[in-house]
Amino acid sequence: MKLKPLNQQTIVITGATSGIGLATARLAAERGAKLVLAARSEADLHHVGAELSHKGAQVVTVAADVASVTDIQRIATTAKERFGGLDTWINNAAASIWGRLEEVSHEDSHRMFETNFWGVVYGSLAAVKHLKKRGGALINLGSVASDIAFPLQGMYSASKHAIKGFTDALRQELEEEGAPISVTLIKPSAINTPFPQHARNYMDKEPKLPPPVYEPEEVANAIVHAAEHPERDIYIGGGGKMFSTMNKHLPRAMDFLNEKVNMKLQTRDEPPRNPAGSLHGPYVRDGKAHGTHPGYVMQKSLYTRASLHPVITGAFAALAGGILVALLSGKNSSSSEPAEENESATA
């Protein structure tokens, strides 16, 4: 399957005014893509749209709630009316809840699923309807939590598990009918965005993400790559891939790690800043790509970069291996020469 170069694409991004969505919008604009940006806050959209337009990007914004089918259809219609259609649709908008499952209200759980799961479903089906006619990429944001259940983020983990199941089934159905659509699931590890501050918080402390933590630009780089190159799954961060593999092969060990370590690593030693978060509306305003994670944040993931370019990585590995063999062979040859001279002298 061939996908267009980014500078020939129109890209839809939901949740485009914060975190991963904002970092992706900036990178896609830099690469020359036309952008349809959607989020709930019209004021934040105006700010982001002005920033990117000032840098020469072609941008249109749509104030929309992905939990509304009508709003999703309006996003797709805007892309068609303004740019003649769309080539990549990125379902990025998400919400979260920190708290023990017994404490979380049904209302909050339903609202989060409306955003995280149904927002992806509505967006995916709207995108597929358009992409079947011209081809393109559908990119859904899952998480390492699509593979692992994290305590204190139980409902969030459940929603990301659901996204994985839906995305995998949709991919299979589209491939079976020969639809010209690449379907990618992105699985970020913990990412340094304002995500914890936007979450509904039931705890008596401010939430934080457990390490390892990566910068949002690493996710944006993977998303932009998937817009041009068909990929099935992309893990962001070797740590996330390691935990996913561990959970698959050593589930009880992963349970122990979550229970004894990760629960303690999900809080800051300070009172909650805004317990309501942005679950039910865009109440926490920031318009920032980066968060305020108190620990070390990794700029890049060598694992992710290698997974996106396996041929080049393999060639470099083979070259490095060849050089190492040559060096060792030369060293062995040098060390054997004196021994041969001594044998001749003795003879």
Residues labelled as active-site residues: 156
- How many other β-carbons are positioned within 10 Å of the β-carbon of residue 317? 12
Does residue 180 have a cis peptide bond before it, meaning omega lies within 30 degrees of 0? Answer: no
For residue 223, give every residue at least 6 positions away whose Cβ sits within 8 Å of its Cβ, in sequence order, or none: 20, 24, 90, 139, 186
SS in 3 state form for 237-280? CHHHHHHHHHHHHCHHHHHHHHHHHHCHHHECCCCCCCCCCCCC
Determine the Cα–Cα distance for residues 23 and 27; give it in Å rounded to an integer: 6
- Decide: 267 and 205 in contact? Cβ < 8 Å: yes
Determine the Cα–Cα distance for residues 216 and 192; give it in Å rounded to an integer: 6
- Decide: 195 and 291 in contact? Cβ < 8 Å: yes
What the block records as the tokens of 131 is 């992409």
Segments in the chain forming alpha helices (H): 19-30, 42-54, 69-83, 106-113, 119-134, 154-177, 195-198, 216-228, 238-249, 251-257, 302-308, 310-346
